Amino acid sequence: MSVPLWAWFVVLGVIVAMLVVDLVAHRKAHVIGVREAAAWSIVWVLSGITFGIVVWNSWGAEFGQQYFAGYVIEKSLAVDNVFVWAIIFAAFAVPREFQHRVLFLGVLGALVFRGIFIAAGAALIENFSWILYVFAAFLILTGIQMIRTRNEHVHPEKSRTLKLFRRFVPMTDAYHGQRFLIRKAGVLVATPLLAVLVLVEVTDIIFAVDSIPAIFAVTSEPFLVFTANAFAILGLRAMYFLLADLIHRFRYLKIGLAFVLVWVGVKMALLDVVKIPTLVSLAVVALIIAVAITASLIATRGQGRREIEVESAGAFRLATEEEMAELEPVFRSRRAMAGSRR
């Protein structure tokens, strides 16, 4: 697959433009409802499908199928991210109107880190073809482990990342709007929102360790690996607000995701023995996810939306009007300085 340099710049430009549109649309903190989340989810999915059609028409059916297979795999595995985010937000009692900004920056960081991982993975495969068997074994073992631990949940309050963060970064217990850092008694301290952002970023890095090898099972083209990841990730914020209150209904989804990892691991392991067509891989992944979701919804029919209940990571609160007023002169002077520079 020959991809000119300008195509990379165009894709990156489109991604940046989409991020800017999303940022402008949500520049004011507000609670994102189900209807708004559903509308944005449709926009992001259509964007991913449209790009896949462009790949299909520009580089042929085989590469188009590889993109869609990678997109479906990444989109499916990303659902696990959504559920972990919901647990983190619940543990830190993050007000709903502040969650979008954390996820926006989290997704931005995810794009950067995944780009690095994809470049590293592509370099390893090009120079050490046997690394594919390592990826295959890792995916199979990870899938099996997911099945064994399917009933276990993430506990943010016990996270080593959080312990390290609290050890080295002074943190207040109050949310000061959407600010990540404030100056208190002359000392720069973090708000709980920064701790949440760090946990979200670390979580995505951990998930990327699974998802990046998985997509290399269906395509070895860095351009397709990156774009499938990017378009799948871009819709995660809307997906979160759409599904966060429905975690309890996806009872068997983790098992389905585990089978997806095992399937792509087996496909990768058999690469030199039998070449499984990309369309077959896509169909198998879609079937596994469809069965897992259908079985989950049937088993939990009649259950409505409800907030997730987890152990608290601390006693967090909204800053009082007096505390916010103390900080206002600082922010006013910063705005004045920024205005004078212009």
Per-residue pLDDT of the chain (342 residues; tens, 9 = 90+): 788 888 889 988 988 888 888 777 766 767 777 788 888 889 889 999 999 999 999 999 999 999 999 898 888 888 878 888 888 888 888 888 888 888 888 888 888 888 888 888 888 888 887 888 888 898 899 889 888 877 777 677 777 888 888 888 888 888 888 888 888 777 788 888 898 999 888 888 888 877 888 888 888 888 999 999 889 888 888 888 887 777 777 888 889 989 988 988 888 888 777 788 888 888 988 899 999 989 988 988 877 676 766 666 666 777 777 766 766 555 555 544 545 555
- Would you state the pLDDT for residue 190? 87
Tokens of 187: 């000392």
Q: pTM value?
A: 0.82
> Is residue 274 in some structural domain?
yes
Residue 100, domain member (yes or no) = no
- Split into its structural domains, the chain has a count of 1
Q: Is residue 245 a part of any domain in this protein?
A: yes
Does 193 fall in a domain?
no
Structural domain boundaries, residue 214:
36-82+105-152+198-300
**Contact predicate 285/76, CB 8 Å:** yes
pLDDT reported for residue 46: 92
170 inside domain? no
What is the structure's pLDDT at 338?
A: 46
State residue 88's pLDDT score: 86
